[in-house]
Structure 1
Amino acid sequence: MNKHAWMPVSPCGDGCVDHSTATVGRLRVAWRVVAASTVMLSGAFVVLAVLCLRGPARSALLRHWFRLLVRAFGVRLLVVGPVFQEVRGRGVLVVSNHVSWLDELAIDAVQPIRMVAKRDIRDWPVLGPLITAARTVYLDRERLSLLPGTVAELAAALRDGAAVGIHAEGTTWCGVASGRYRPALFQSALDAGVPVRPVVLRYRQGSATSTRPAFIGSDTLVGSMRRVLRARGLVVEVHVLDEVAPGRASTRRELAALVQQESERVSHGSVGVPAPRWHTAEVA
């Protein structure tokens, strides 16, 4: 199938990944493999449980499971800012950058939301069913004709009060470089009349940005997982910024540009970390 002009492309490749950063020993890697495997296998029971639960109980179970999984991979989660959806029952479009397969885990570890993801994630072993259980909306980027239907589905979910998440770049970048926010899916927020919540994901080891978790170039899921399992002191920061209220932009292009401008103030370090209005939490 031919790729269309809308399909996002990232110039990031294998050479973007810094393999010289600190790593842990074989015994620590083995322990993490056992821990991550155990948590992932327990996901089968979580899937069954979430089918029986509704509301806050369902959300709490998924959130704790994703937090356990992030930690099992040896990654610490640092959340700065409010929760994604401060007003329960009011829809919000959560917009983040895209670096790694870890992004979805980190986002759902803060608050399980309906993510928009590429369709092949559905077929990932173990993780696929869990991400699907979180009511993920799958997008076939190669079939542009399906895009209006996806936008309509997202708008309906937002009108119903859901928190819906998109990776606005449309593909993964290395974390040092980033891409232009694609405007198409922003139309759902305009159609539903809901705010947009910018979120910035940053990966670091020590004080420096880490590209080890990046899922780019010729990476396989297993290969990227191995790099994460070997990383020492890897932290994923989830910076939750102020909402962009309805009415601040009249078109999806204006809205995408406005949200990207807000996000780049944090991702490029031009301002300090925003003062939290709800919580600053580090999950050990």
Structure 2
Amino acid sequence: MPNVTTSLTASRLTRAVRWTRLLLHIASGLIQSAIYPHVGQRTQRRMAQKWSARLLSILGVRVRHQGILPVAGTQRVMLAANHVSWLDVYSIISVCPARFVAKSEIRGWPLFGWLSNNVGTLFIERTKRRDTARINDHIAEALNNGDCVAIFPEGGTSDGTVLHHFHASLLQPAVSVSAMLHPVAIRYTDMAGNISKAAAYFRISLLESVRQVLSQPHIDVELVFTEAIDSHGKNRRELARSAEHAIASALSLPLPHKPSGKPSDPPDEQP
């Protein structure tokens, strides 16, 4: 398992400048999100990619990616990634524009919730088991329309040092429409290449997490796009286990164990 270290702290002036730039960028995002539903798919992807890349730059987050990026619109594409931070979404979009499945509580987040709602995020009611069928219909429709759809099958976040069991329920649309599933391994590191917990959105509030990110000199995030999995002839549980293995291998983490006494396919929680 990779080493874990604590990052240095950015200066007070750096934090103040970042806060100012962040608020201005969010304001521009609110304006763009009002336009977003009224432009074509290609323009939407460019807008989301550019805005996300700029956000990460302001926050001092540097993105590197490995592997072959899927090309949206050329085939039905679904992403399944491990989940560490709210930064995961923007990191992926900055290199591979995608629509994300998120828990309905995200709608209530200050500013970010409104932005998410206006840019095509698919919200699931995690407390309602039957809502999975509804959201799966929307995912399948989005895939058939040429959108790349991304999910976090762990159903929650970690601090980046472990991998949790992958729930399979939201992978059913990949099976239904014969999509290519691309597992994406996400890792946050410091300047020495060791795992950094600074970006982890784990047992803290969103505001606390933003403050924590802004306090770092910089954060590196590595996205590893592992070999795509053809869903044809597979079921959703096979896809979940294959994605688990691929991501665990890419992150050099042990495979998770399914919690005992739990349903095999509980409603997936997508922070």
TM-score (norm 2): 0.87
Which residue of 2 is the match for residue 24 of structure 1? 10
1:233 and 2:218 are equivalent in the alignment: yes
For 1:183, which of 142, 146, 168 is the aligned residue? 168
User: Counterpart amino acid of 1:80?
Assistant: Q
The aligned counterpart of 2:50 is 64
Q: How far apart in 2 are the matches of 1:188 and 1:181? A: 16
| Shift, 1:156, TM fit | 2.3
> Match for 1:265 among 245, 249, 254?
249
Does the aligned pair in 2 maintain the 1:93–1:195 contact within 8 Å?
Answer: yes
Give the match for residue 190 of structure 2.
Answer: 205
Q: Is the 8 A contact 1:19 1:212 kept in 2?
A: no
Partners of 1:89 and 1:162 within 8 A in 2:
no
Contact (CA 8 Å) 1:97, 1:200: kept in 2 or not? yes
How far does the alpha carbon of each residue in 1:71-122 deviate from its partner, in whole angstroms, 9 at most, with x for none?
11111111222323x2624211111010111111111212221100111112
How many angstroms apart in 2 are the aligned matches of 1:58 and 1:224?
Answer: 28
> For the Cα contact (< 8 Å) 1:63–1:111, is it kept in 2?
yes
Amino acid at match of 1:264: A
1:18-167 equivalence runs, <5 A: 20-84=6-70, 86=71, 88-167=73-152
Alpha carbons 1:205, 1:232 under 8 Å: kept:
no
Structural RMSD (CA): 1.8
Q: CA deviation at 1:269?
A: 7.0
Give the TM-score of the pair, scaled to structure 1: 0.83
Report deviation, 1:227: 0.5
The amino acid across from 1:205 in the alignment is D
Deviations 1:183-209 (A, max 9, x none): 111111001111101111111112111
Whether contact under 8 Å (1:90, 1:162) holds in the other structure is no
1:197 is paired with a residue whose SS is strand
Which amino acid in 1 is paired with 2:208?
G
Aligned residues: 250
| 1:144 partner SS | coil
Segments of structure 1 that go 5 or more residues without pairing to the other structure are 1-17, 271-284
Structure 2 runs not aligned, ≥5 long = 255-271
Distance 1:170 1:81, change over 3 A: same
TM-superposition CA deviations, 1:235-284 (whole Å, max 9, x none): 1112112210133x5221111001111111111179xxxxxxxxxxxxxx
